[in-house]
Structure 1
Amino acid sequence: MTVRTDPHLTLVRPVTPSAPGCEECLATRSPWIHLRLRLTCGHVGCCDSSPNRRARRHAAADGHPIVASLEGGEDWRWCFVQVAFV
């Protein structure tokens, strides 16, 4: 079995969440479902199940493809480019 390493993992840095919720949703008073933490810059965005899908938009716009869940009890990372858990 071959194990592939995601090249985007080199972009992961120690980060602090930028806000207590989705930054843009807080500013526009929009709802969100789940939160995702951008592991390159600390931006907090909402998930793909949320109406605005801000985490995905930020990944595409800023080239920060790896997120971690900010939900309690969840410990995973996802790469939007590789479309895989990392």
Structure 2
Amino acid sequence: MTTTCTHLSQAHILHTHKDYCEECVKSGGHWVHLRLCLICGKAGCCDSSPNRHASKHFHETGHPLVRSIEPGERWVWCYVDNMLVGEIDSQPSSGPASNEAEK
């Protein structure tokens, strides 16, 4: 059993201004909580949501890391290792190195 995540170096997109599930908006669905793919910046709904778009994105792409983009939450989850792997500051730093996903 893995006790540490070896995928953290793959995280490129750490923050976003998105406050919606991209796939739910396209399909007219609804979501409960939002997750951000730290590899490509796709925003998707959590597994408590009817369509589970964040998990579907992982299964389609293999992108292992998501973070909660719910207000006040900072945790990061690794789908491959099936574990919480840490936290990310909830606000992006200023300047070009903020790794912010497009709105």
Normalising TM by the smaller chain, what interval?
A: 0.7 to 0.9
Two-structure CA RMSD over aligned residues (Å): 1.8
2:33 corresponds to: 34
Compare 17-26 and 44-53 and name the one that shifted more: 17-26
TM-score normalised by structure 2 residue count = 0.74
> Could you tell me how far apart the structure 1 residues matched to 2:83 and 2:20 are?
24
Quickly say closer, same or farther: Cα 1:42–1:76, change in 2 above 3 A: same
CA deviation after TM superposition for structure 1 residue 16, in Å: 4.9
2:78 corresponds to: 79
Identity of aligned residues (%): 46
> Could you tell me how far apart the structure 2 residues matched to 1:32 and 1:54 are?
9
Q: How does 1:43-62 map to 2 (within 5 A)?
A: 43-62=42-61
What number of residue pairs does the alignment pair up? 84
1:8 corresponds to: 7
Contact 1:36 1:70 in 2 (8 A): yes
TM-score normalised by structure 1 residue count = 0.88
Q: How does 1:13-28 map to 2 (within 5 A)?
A: 13-17=12-16, 19-28=18-27
